[in-house]
Amino acid sequence: MEKVNLYELAEWTGSKIIHSGQNLKISEFSTDSRTIKEGDFFIPLKGLNFDGHNFIDEAVSKGATGFVYSKDFSDAGIVMQRNILAKFDEYKKCNSKLMILECEDTNKFLIDAAKHYLKKFNPISIGITGSVGKTTTKNFLVNILKSYANTVYSKKSFNNEIGIPKSIFEVNNKTNYFIAELGMRGKGQVRELSDLCNIKYGILTKIGPSHLQFFKDINEIVLAKTEISEKIKENNGFLVLNGDEEYIDQIKSNIFCDTVICGSKQNFEYNFSNIEYNSSACFSFDINNFDKKIMRVSLLVAGFHNIYNAILSAALALKLNIEEEVVKNAIENTTSEYLRMQLKEINGKYVIIDCYNANPMSLKSAIDTLRIIASSRNARSVAILGDMLELGEDSDKYHAEIGEYLFLKNIDFLMTFGLNSRYTFEKFNELSKGGNESLYFKDKEMMVKALSKVLKENDVILIKGSRANCMEDIINFI
């Protein structure tokens, strides 16, 4: 992070300087008192079940160079220890070396600070949103751009109004590109994050029933995701779309900017053909510009769905006139991220670890990969599944559909646990009529105890469920 002047920060955020301290320069921001380092400036965020103002004293004791506070924090119904309030009053007496700002709301302070900080350096900003595939698509694109120019990107799951600012503060005067993964939990969030990042170019990955708990139906999800196009139009950029997307017509009718269409059809500007795959379900294919072959790529990440993630990233890079050889080498050297379609040999078994999250689309893609690998190895296919969460009132239906999909893909053995996954088990059991093995458990602990009795050497095993299930715990018992 480039140093920020206190007066500059106050202007960006509409804050009042309570005390200017001695340094006046801020080199790092921190929102977590547990990991704060000496010299950091502390921003105490507020949530439904926490208030960072309670940890201002801890941050200062660890060497924070200053902090900001919401002027109404002590009247917000938060029970604070008397010694914290007393210490806080001491800080505000202007007899300390600390830099202290007062703002209306610390969460908004963080967003405003990040937004103006990014504009100060004005890199080319790229946003990636969609229901599935955001992180892998981001990884493909990051590998392409970072081998071409100085690139900063949102790490891990930093895809919201707290995580993205942390990534923005890594930008400096040498940064050419900034890439952000844009998450979504409600209407307007993609619009706000696109504005925060000043998005010029974008990628919209596959859309489907993810986070339906927060929306009436998928049409609302489509509308919310296409909000990214508003900022792109303002910046005279373009949005890369999957032309094979089920909801492509709805998407197109709600897009405000120029688009680049990708997919399997030759009339798409960028398309793929001549598909092959190996025993690990890693695909090779040609990337074409209409009917002209550009390159052939071989992926290190498993699953047919990753063809789309790769070509969306390649299309954006090629439209930015990045050399074909750079694009090819970067895509071919992109590997799986932790807990996302990782392939591992464990105790004589081949395990697909896809535990980061789950929704109907991502789970079906993982099941396809399980089927390919098991067939290639002439092995038994085993699906170990937890609940898919945040699917709203139709959750039972979506879980039952997965049971049907498992049967259609002829998965040999199903193990599920959790309240919702019972419907997956019941549908699979009903259709297979005992021809395929299946077990249901009320909780993960009961399932773990049974693993050693039912798993066999050479099994190909898929482990998948929503993040709250912590499915990765199961790996230790394979």
Cβ atoms of residues 356 and 463 within 8 Å: no
d(CA 164, CA 183): 10
pLDDT of residue 76 exceeding 50, the answer is no
- Please check whether residue 62 is in contact with residue 34, taking contact to mean a CB–CB distance below 8 angstroms: no
**10-24, 132-146, 371-385: which has the minimum mean pLDDT?**
10-24
**pLDDT, mean of residues 415-439:** 94
User: For residue 11, what pLDDT is reported?
Assistant: 97
pLDDT value for 87: 65
For residue 422, pLDDT over 70 is answered with yes
Q: List the structure tokens of 425.
A: 């088990």
Which pLDDT score is estimated for 244?
98
- Answer yes or no: is pLDDT of 78 > 50: no
pLDDT at 434: 77
Under the banding of pLDDT at 50, 70 and 90, the label for residue 226 is: very high
Range of lowest pLDDT (11-15, 406-410, 473-477):
473-477
pLDDT surpassing 70 at residue 300: yes
Position 36 scores a pLDDT of 95
State the amino acid at position 39 in one-letter form. G
**pLDDT value at residue 94:** 54
Using pLDDT thresholds of 50, 70 and 90, give the confidence band for residue 212: confident
The least confident of 77-86, 279-288, 313-322, 347-356 is 77-86
Q: Which residues contact 66 (CB under 8 A, 6 or more apart)?
A: 6, 21, 26, 41, 42, 98, 99, 100, 101
pLDDT at residue 50 in the model: 85
At 77, the pLDDT band (50, 70, 90 cuts) reads very low
Query: How far is residue 267 from each of residues 64, 264, 287, 291, measured CA to CA in Å?
Result: 57, 9, 13, 8
Mean predicted confidence (pLDDT) in 428-440: 92
The pLDDT of residue 80 is: 45
Q: Going by DSSP bridges, is the β-strand pair 66-70/41-42 parallel, antiparallel, or unpaired?
A: parallel
Average pLDDT over every residue of 108-129: 98
Long-range pairs of 52-61 with CB within 8 A, sequence gap ≥ 24: 52/106, 53/78, 53/80, 53/88, 53/106, 54/78, 54/80, 54/81, 54/84, 56/84, 56/87, 56/88, 56/91, 57/83, 57/84, 57/87, 57/88, 58/33, 59/30, 59/33, 60/87, 60/91, 60/98
Does the pLDDT value for residue 322 go beyond 90?
yes
Lowest mean pLDDT among 12-21, 257-266, 399-408: 12-21
> Could you tell me the pLDDT band of residue 81, with boundaries at 50, 70 and 90?
very low
pLDDT for 188 beyond 90? yes
pLDDT confidence tier of residue 156, bands split at 50, 70 and 90: confident
Q: What pLDDT is stored for residue 89 in this prediction?
A: 66
Q: Name the average pLDDT for the chain.
A: 93
pLDDT band at 248 (very low <50, low <70, confident <90, very high): very high
**How would residue 84 be classed by pLDDT, with cut points 50, 70 and 90?**
low
Please give the pLDDT value at position 82.
47
Give the angle 375-377-382 at the CA atoms, nearest 5°.
65
* Span 292-310, average pLDDT: 98
Distance CA 349, CA 352 (A): 10
Q: What number is the average pLDDT over the span 162-185?
A: 96
**What is the share, in percent, of the chain residues with pLDDT greater than 90?**
84
How many degrees, rounded to 5, is the angle at CA 213 between CA 444 and CA 443? 10
Over residues 264-290, the mean pLDDT reads 98
